[in-house]
Amino acid sequence: MPEVYQLHILLREISPAIWRRVLIRSDSTITDLHYTIQILMGWSDYHLNKFSIRAKSYGVYHMGGMSFPDDPDEVLLSEFEFRLKERFLYEYDFNVDWMIDIRLEGRTALEPSQSYPFCISGSRAGPPEECGGPIAFMAWEDEFSPSLVVSRMQDLCEDQVDEIELYLHEIDHAKWWLGKEEFDRKEINRRLNIYSKRDEEWYGAVFE
């Protein structure tokens, strides 16, 4: 009988910490956990990934990337028989090395009325996928104080009004830094719920 795992997911080398707590079925696959983490962090599945579990690698194949001996759609989390507080590692985008520690915090019974995965808590927005990794992210945090971001946005709107379309990317980037402390659990669970249904359009709906 499947049960529910409570996992704590912590992004390394970031301070203040960016973390999530999620409920996921024990009969979920490696593929399911990969997409769950992508949704929890607000990422878009652009890059290569790898799980390191007890000195063995697992992952979801991307064109041109590394292959894995086990089919991630066939490997169930329950097969590992994780001990409470046991940890394993998820790596994403090998060029910049986002590294996430995953820890089993508890086991509970399935709730028939609850969809899984389901995020129950967390802190801060996930970092922008293309910001350059944890070192670059921390450097940008020092540079992008709220007052500087507001000032820059005002300059763009006042000085570049005739060419504003050329600066939309920078404006979007600045808006993210203004809201970097916001953890939107409702939106995360909306996307997790779409994923849980697995209809034909789920990928585009989740990673739009």
C-alpha span between 194 and 205 (Å, rounded): 7
Instruction: Tell me what the mean pLDDT of segment 134-142 comes to.
Output: 75
Contact 183, 125 (CB under 8 A): yes
Give the per-residue pLDDT at 198.
Answer: 86
Contacts of residue 13, defined as CB under 8 A and 6 or more positions apart, other chains included, come to 99, 134, 135, 138
Which domains does the chain show, CATH number per domain? 4-124+183-206 (3.10.290.30), 133-178 (no CATH)
Positive or negative torsion for Cα 44, 45, 48, 53: positive
Give the per-residue pLDDT at 134.
Answer: 79
Give the per-residue pLDDT at 150.
Answer: 63
Q: What is the pTM of this model?
A: 0.84
Six-digit token string for 10: 């912590």
* Distant-in-sequence contacts of 70-73, Cβ < 8 A, 24+ apart: 70/30, 72/29, 72/30, 72/31, 72/34, 73/29, 73/30, 73/31
Instruction: Tell me what the mean pLDDT of segment 149-160 comes to.
Output: 63
Give the per-residue pLDDT at 124.
Answer: 92
pLDDT-based confidence at residue 89 (cuts at 50, 70, 90): very high
- Average pLDDT over the chain reads 86
pLDDT at residue 161 tops 60: no
Q: List phi, psi (to 5°) of 54.
A: 50, 50
Give the per-residue pLDDT at 56.
Answer: 95
